[in-house]
Amino acid sequence: MDIEAELARDLRDAVDGGQLQVAYQPLFDLSTVRGKRGVPAAVEALCRWLHPKHGVLMPDRFIPIAERENLIADIDARMLETAAAQVGRWQRAGSATLGLSVNASPTGVDAAFARRVADCADAAGLLPGTLVVEVTETPPPQIATAVVDAIPLLHAAGIAVSIDDFGGSETTLTMLEPLAIDEVKIDRSLTQRTDDAAERAIRDLVAGAVRHGWRVVAEGIETAADLARSRARGCHRGQGYLWSAPVEAREIERMLQVV
Ligand code: C2E
Ligand code: CA
Ligand code: CA
Ligand code: CA
C-alpha cells in the first residue's frame, strides 16, 4: 500500500485514538515587543500527528487527506477542544487576556461548526473575545457562502474570524472588503518579500484593515529585518521563528511566566 493510502486508512483511528497533538506558536504585539523577547499576546494551535510507524507527521502531509476523507471538521474540533482547555487554564493562571487562534478548513465551517466552537469556548471558560478562528484557505474566486454565513454566529458568541494565507492564496483585498471579518494574516511568502509590488500590496491591505477595523498579523517573521519591515508596514501582530517555532505547551508556559 502506498503511504497516502496508508495515512488515509489510519487517520480515522488517529483522530479517535488521541494521536493528534497540539503544537503552540506564540504571536506578539508589534507595538510593544522588543526584538526576540516578549510575552506572547496569543498562541496559534497547530496540528501534529504522532503516527505509530512514521513518527511525527506535519499537517501538510495529512490535512489534504483529512479534507478529502471528510475528517477535517473532526480534527479541527479536537484541536479546538484541547487548545481551548489549555488556554483557559493559562488565562486563569495569570495570562488573563492571552488569545487563542485555531485553524479551520473552510469545508468544515458552517452553522453547526459555529455552535460547536461557541460551546467549546464556553466549556473552557475562555475570556470572551480571546478566541479567533482562522479560515485556512479560501476557495476562489469567492469566500464560500457557508463561511460567510457562519461569521455572525461566531460573532454572537464573542469569537473572532481571521482569514489566513493572504498573499499565499487567491484572496484579494476586494474579496475581503464586504466580509465582517476581524483579522487578516499575511502569508510568509508575502511577509518576506521586499520588492515594490509586495510593499504596495501590504500597505494597501493595512490601509483597508484600518478602514474596516481588522487586525493584521504578519506570519513568517524570521529575522530582525522581517520584524522591522512588518512594523514599518503597519502590521499589528507578528509570528515566526524569530521568536519561536510551534512548541509544546511547557515551552509556552516558560514564555508566559505563569503556572
Ligand atoms: P498556517 O496556518 O499558515 O500556519 C503557519 C505555518 O507556518 C505552520 O506550519 C508554522 O509552523 C509555519 N511557520 C510559522 N512561523 C514560521 C517562520 O517564521 N518560518 C517558516 N518557514 N515557517 C513558519 P505547520 O504547523 O506545518 O502548518 C501548516 C499548515 O497546516 C497551516 O498553515 C494550516 O494551514 C494547516 N494546519 C495546521 N494545523 C491545522 C489544523 O488543526 N486544522 C486545519 N484545518 N489546518 C491546520
Ligand atoms: Ca493559521
Ligand atoms: Ca497562514
Ligand atoms: Ca498556510
* Predicted confidence (pLDDT) per residue in 139-182, tens digit: 555 677 888 899 999 999 999 999 999 999 888 999 999 999 99
In a domain, 66, yes or no: no
In a domain, 51, yes or no: no
Residue 147 belongs to what domain range? 24-46+72-256
pLDDT in tens, 67-88: 999 999 999 999 999 999 999 9
Q: Is the pTM of this model over 0.90?
A: yes
In a domain, 243, yes or no: yes
| Residue 37 confidence (pLDDT) | 87
| Residue 140 confidence (pLDDT) | 54
Give the Å distance between the CA of 136 and the centre of ligand 3: 7
In a domain, 174, yes or no: yes
The CB of 136 under 6 Å from ligand 1? The reply is yes
Q: How many CB atoms lie within 10 A of CB 8?
A: 17
Q: Which of 75, 103, 107, 192 to mutate to test the pocket of ligand 1 (most atoms within 8 A of CB)?
A: 103
**Ramachandran quadrant class, 257 (left: phi over 0; alpha: psi -120 to 50; beta: rest):** left
E strand or H helix at 131, and its extent? strand 131-135
Number of domains in the chain: 1
How far apart are alpha carbons 179 and 191 in whole angstroms?
A: 23
CA-closest residue to ligand 1 atom 19: 220
Q: Which of 63, 171, 248 to mutate to test the pocket of ligand 1 (most atoms within 8 A of CB)?
A: 63
**CB-based burial of residue 208 (10 Å sphere; 0-12 exposed, 13-18 middle, 19+ buried)?**
middle
Q: How many CB atoms lie within 10 A of CB 122?
A: 13
In a domain, 173, yes or no: yes
Grid cell digits, residue 103: 485553524
Q: What is the 3-state secondary structure (H, E, C) of 176-236?
A: HCCCCCCEEEECHHHHCCCCHHHHHHHHHHHHHHHHHCCEEEECCCCCHHHHHHHHHCCCC
How far apart are alpha carbons 23 and 25 in whole angstroms?
A: 7
| Residue 72 confidence (pLDDT) | 93
Hey, what amino acid is at 227? L
In a domain, 64, yes or no: no
**CB-based burial of residue 74 (10 Å sphere; 0-12 exposed, 13-18 middle, 19+ buried)?**
middle
- What CATH number did the domain enclosing 163 receive? 3.20.20.450
| Residue 142 confidence (pLDDT) | 62
In a domain, 164, yes or no: yes
In a domain, 56, yes or no: no
Mean pLDDT per 10-residue section of the chain, whose length is 259 residues:
91 94 98 92 98 96 94 94 98 97 91 93 96 82 79 95 92 92 97 97 97 98 97 98 98 86
DSSP class of residue 107 equals G
